[in-house]
Amino acid sequence: MRVLVSVDMEGIAGVVHGDDVLPGHGEYERNRALLTAETNAAVRGVHAFEPRAQVLVTEAHAHFRNLLPERLDRRAELLRGTPKPYGMMAGLDGGVDAALFIGYHGKAGTARSVLAHTVSGGVVSDVRCNGRSLGELGLNAALAAHAGVPPVLVSGDDTVAAEAAEVVPGMHAVVVKRALGARAAAMLHPEEACDRIEQAVPAALAGRDAVRAPRFDGPVRLEVRVHRPRMTELVLLIPGMELADGCTLRYEAADFPTAYDVIELIATLGAL
């Protein structure tokens, strides 16, 4: 068995503020350790289910350099640094049997959700694929489904768990904190959060055939809304990119992986 573990940061127990996940702040260094601990809990859960499993851990926050490599479970292989193919889902291919999402958060616009955003909180306010609004959870689940890989588990706050129930029926969710607002939460002790993740993974892997992730098998009409009109200027240099209104970009992608890459490109160019 081969399992991909995609690791974001806003959804880990202990995190409630932007400074908590931003390099250069003291809280960030402590939260790197908490993030690595939750990742290790997921790795242990995979090996409890299949002792000979191969686990790929891919960094999925900011510039993809957050985990503490020396503290990562030595049975896991780490995919680190940017840019890397498929970004948050680097390592995804036809040989992967399941994907786990650790430390995830709600999509942009989610009410009372800890640090909710989509791809880039400073650029993107909404992403729609064939008219359907998706956050990072939905986009990454759809990319996994396109590769034939079931996304079986997500950990984070209660709002991302509710999002998973709606967008990816059958996906297991581990709630490590209950959102009280955009920068406040009632949270589990970090060790308890790790225990719950570790215990949930085997059942999630066992039930992978029941997961129903969103699928986009043909061309995808992509619409990305950004916060300010000036963020569209460089993006419109992409051949085929159109401006639907002052802040909404539209692109006809040949398939979902292409749409996924274009979303990342829009976020990158929009921030310049």
How many Å apart are CA 158 and CA 2, to the nearest integer?
28
Whether residue 155 contacts residue 102, with contact meaning beta carbons closer than 8 Å, is answered with yes
Q: Where are the alpha helices (DSSP H) in the chain?
A: 26-49, 136-146, 158-167, 190-206, 256-270
Tell me, yes or no, if 47 is annotated catalytic: no
How many Å apart are CA 201 and CA 224, to the nearest integer?
33
The residue type of 241 is M
Question: Does 192 count as an annotated binding residue?
Answer: no
Q: Which of 147, 146, 130 is nearest to 220 (CA)?
A: 130
Choose, from 17, 25, 47, 117, the residue flagged as catalytic.
117
How many Å apart are CA 246 and CA 232, to the nearest integer?
8
Whether residue 224 contacts residue 123, with contact meaning beta carbons closer than 8 Å, is answered with no
Whether residue 103 contacts residue 72, with contact meaning beta carbons closer than 8 Å, is answered with no
Question: Does 136 count as an annotated binding residue?
Answer: yes
Question: Does 158 count as an annotated binding residue?
Answer: no
Question: Does 10 count as an annotated binding residue?
Answer: yes
Question: Does 47 count as an annotated binding residue?
Answer: no
Residues tagged in the binding site annotation for Zn(2+)? 8, 10, 61, 105, 136
Catalytically active residues, by annotation: 117
Binding site members: 8, 10, 61, 105, 136
